[in-house]
Structure 1
Amino acid sequence: MWSDADEVALREEAMEWLAAWTNDGLDAISYEDLGDFHFRGKKFPLKDRQLGIRKPAGMDSALSITTTYRAPGKQRPYEDRLGGDGLMRYKWDGDDPNKFTNRGLRAAMNMGRPLIWFWGIAQGVYKPIFPVYIVAEEPDQKQFVVATDGLQNIESTGHNVDEVTKRYVVQETRRRLHQPVFRGLIMQAYGTRCAICMLRHSTLLDAAHIVPDSEPDGVAAVRNGIALCKIHHAAYDVGIIGITPDYKIGVRGDVLEEIDGPMLEFGLKGLHGSELRVLPSSKKEHPDRDLLARQFRRFETGSVARGLRADFLRSNAES
């Protein structure tokens, strides 16, 4: 049997190790690389090879949970989802509430133990989210309620949560779970390269939404995202550059007329009329043309007054 001190030490070392391997959660990790973790001088699996819940032998509570990778258009065996209260739901392992894996999660809930959530973003590749906490159980729906760090003291699971608290919880869940998973999916699809300039440094790359996630159509799916370096992400978000449904880049008219240093000249102005240089290998993961068209109309609205539309259409016709 594990002592409380040993169990706490294991969780702390595992999460510190994951933080080091993933650039403090920016990057994903493969199942193969997970095998490099050691505890007290011995290899120690952080996730189960086959089961969704990892409860080490001799330990009362579970250590990690896994959400299986789902290829575009496919469904996962279990659908882990966001509840109306902004907290995530994680399904039981099977139908038996007393199965050892479900008991392990229940014990983690009762003991307030932090867990690691491995979210599949490709076959054998996972985005680790940690720490997360089991804060409640919903037996009628055969699922547990999962909160991200800082939310574990919320006692309600949605029945009496006021709107301000609910909005906060939703925002925090997006920040702690949805955004990292979305980033992992985008980086996997784009080979950790900026679609515009091909920069490969992961710490300088963002998963940019085409339609912001604050809007109804701003889904956290690869088709609504593009891997961009921080400069081009910021330029896209503020409307300095736009991307057409044909994956061509436009630069705002007033910026084209500016004179500045090499970053403006080559990093922005030089993009005008060019195409995205990196796209996912799978066409199903290419940026959604309808979403790009919607956002490009907004770009045009801010650019027409600056005389960009005619110049941009002319340059495209000439190319």
Structure 2
Amino acid sequence: MIGELAVREALMRWLDARTDPVVDQLFLKGFEYQGQRIAIAGQQGIMKPRSLQAAISIRTAYTEPTQTPPYADSVGADGLQRYKYRGDDPNHYDNRALRRAFQDRLPIVWFVGVARGRYEPIYPVYVIADDPANLEFTLAVDEGQRHLGTGDLSVDARAYALRLTKQRLHQPIFRRQVLLAYDGKCSICRLKHLELLDAAHILADGKPNGQPVVPNGISLCKIHHAAFDANLLGIRPDLTLHVRDDVLQETDGWMLAGGIQGVHNTSLEILPRARALRPDTERLEERYAEFLAYT
């Protein structure tokens, strides 16, 4: 029997060395440890290789915006992420495998679907509580969450836990989904260097419709994202751009002239192919009203 912790550490080093941040099923079939091929992600959500005693990974399939996820994984009132059991039997083989990872305090990898057949690996993740009554496990997606405890946390601890969940899980998944939908390009200027691109929220996180979903996002380069957030430019519901009047009157260098003023009354250059992934009209209307009120 191979070492439970050693193989997990090797897996995470292997994932660290990947060239594409997003992985697919073919890539995941290529992991080997000491010359032995190890299955690290199956078709079901919880994966335990035959050579291990505990689950090594969990998987969440991508769900189209118009569809309902098969499992209601969510964030608890304590700010910590929940992961639903496989089925309704706490003693199902897969649930026992993930429970063993919890009992032995072993790290796992969470493969989160960001497009059809493509996954963002989140690691290391730890199972820190088991709740058979609600058929779910509690996860720590950051080292800072591992020792918080669960359930009745203080207000400050809940806020801290939630902030880490957003930083380590929701924000990177949102960014990846948006950039994939826009083919890795700024929707205004077509810049395609991923390190210079952001997933801009149409409505800010915390607003009633500010969820981290692709229809609430637009792929923007860092300059256009900052200009959008600062209300230097707005995006109308018809996807045309409106540069603020006082900014249009300014005289400055070539970046302002070409990068900001020059896009006034033009349309977004890049949009997702799938209509369900395009900017939501109602969200755009709300955000554009905010822009007009600011000006």
> Shift in Å at residue 95 of structure 1?
2.6
Residue ranges of structure 2 left out of the alignment (5+ in a row): none
Matched, 1:278 2:243: no
Q: Which residue of 2 aligns with 1:312?
A: none
**1:181-220 deviation line (CA, Å, top 9, x unaligned):** 1112212211111111111111211111000112222111
**CA–CA distance in structure 1, aligned partners of residues 185 and 96 of structure 2:** 42
1:185 is matched with which residue: 167, 177, 183? 177
1:21-170 to 2 correspondences below 5 Å: 21=18, 27-48=21-42, 50-149=43-142, 150-155=144-149, 157-158=150-151, 160-170=152-162
**Structure 1 contact 131–148 (Cα < 8 Å) conserved:** yes
**CA–CA distance in structure 2, aligned partners of residues 216 and 17 of structure 1:** 39
Partner secondary structure for residue 21 of structure 1: coil
1:220 is matched with which residue: 201, 212, 215? 212
Residue ranges of structure 1 left out of the alignment (5+ in a row): 304-319
**Structure 1 contact 37–43 (Cα < 8 Å) conserved:** yes
Stretch of structure 1 that moved more, 52-61 or 273-282: 52-61
TM-score scaled by structure 2? 0.94
1:58 to 1:13, Cα distance in 2 relative to 1, 3 A: closer
**CA–CA distance in structure 2, aligned partners of residues 206 and 38 of structure 1:** 34
Q: Which residue of 2 aligns with 1:310?
A: none
TM-score scaled by structure 1? 0.87
Partner secondary structure for residue 145 of structure 2: coil
**CA–CA distance in structure 1, aligned partners of residues 46 and 82 of structure 2:** 14
**CA–CA distance in structure 2, aligned partners of residues 40 and 197 of structure 1:** 47
Partner secondary structure for residue 71 of structure 1: coil
Say how many residue pairs are matched.
294
Counterpart amino acid of residue 66 in structure 1: R
**Structure 1 contact 88–147 (Cα < 8 Å) conserved:** yes
**Structure 1 contact 256–269 (Cα < 8 Å) conserved:** yes
**1:109-158 deviation line (CA, Å, top 9, x unaligned):** 11111111111122211111111110001101111111111201122x22
Counterpart amino acid of residue 274 in structure 1: T
Partner secondary structure for residue 14 of structure 1: helix
**CA–CA distance in structure 2, aligned partners of residues 131 and 46 of structure 1:** 14
Partner secondary structure for residue 121 of structure 2: strand
> Shift in Å at residue 225 of structure 1?
0.5
Q: Which residue of 2 aligns with 1:15?
A: 12
Q: Percent identical across equivalent pairs?
A: 43
**Structure 1 contact 193–228 (Cα < 8 Å) conserved:** yes
Q: Root-mean-square deviation (CA), in Å?
A: 1.6
Q: Which residue of 2 aligns with 1:306?
A: none
